[in-house]
Structure 1
Amino acid sequence: MTGPEPDRLGPGTAPEGSGPGAGVPGPDATGGGDGPGSGDGPGERRSGLRNPAKAVRGLGAGTLALEALVLLLAIQPIRVVGGNLSGAAIGAIVALAVACVVLAGRMGRPWAWNAGTVLQGLLMLSGLLHWSLLVLGVIFALVWAYALHVRKVILG
């Protein structure tokens, strides 16, 4: 590509390579600019990220992966300290952890964020099997709510 297309030039803007400042990288070279979605308009905030959608997907996947790890590592301490952890509760923990891992791999899908919210509700609902699962559900629901907030701020 030799330069910007004529229809992208704003009023009073000369093509690259002419006028004062020739050879100095323009706004498009640094990631700024006045193209659609650049976030430079009035009232718009720039995230400063090269690929905001990918960063948000990584946040969601990381949150779910951490949740899966905590759930699996929590089985033994709950059994020892909390006692009375039934087989159904252990099965629910393992199923929720597997769902977290599968969903973390699917964060690129449009339905994944809604499924993650449902997953947090299921974890809180599993608190009927053991009170500590309700505590974990509330903690991870708050973390997920924060991830949704960050997603909304970054992507709009």
Structure 2
Amino acid sequence: MSEFTHIDASGNPSMVDVSEKSITRRLAKARSVVVLDEAILEKLQNDEIHTKKGPVFQTAIIAGVMAAKRTGDLIPLCHPLGLENCQLTIMLNEKKEVVIECTASLTGKTGVEMEALTGASIAALTVYDMCKAFSHNIVIKETRLIEKTGGKRDFKLDTE
């Protein structure tokens, strides 16, 4: 069984020492799913919802990228990383749920899972914030890692 990586030998919180790790290309993809009320979905036009605050999905994409870049400021023991790329996509699935995917990458000594998860999460919260004027019946159903490559071990979510 693996040990917790962010706790030192004395049981205190500790940033992981990455000084001995190899520099590799690292990529992570995360997904958040948001379920919107029918009253909100009725506002959908040309794959976008427009509110007094502006276009919901376009604003959520910007918020997600900004959040991914600031992950080290938001999560206490995360390393501050200079992302080389961060892309968000937002689409509706067959159940009319909003599917947000965030892909983050860099070449470095530590992975970008938390950046991808943060980007997807903040994009989902932005969708909630911008749509709550229409209805508070909004559920952020899940946020999960979809895949990661380039570290000690790769991961890919089994097909659902």
Larger radius of gyration: 1
Taking structure 2 as the reference length, what is the TM-score of the superposition? 0.31
Q: Which has the higher contact order (CA 8 A, sep 6+)?
A: 2
Name whichever structure is richer in strand by fraction. 2
- Using structure 1 for the length normalisation, give the TM-score: 0.32
Greater fraction of residues in helix: 1
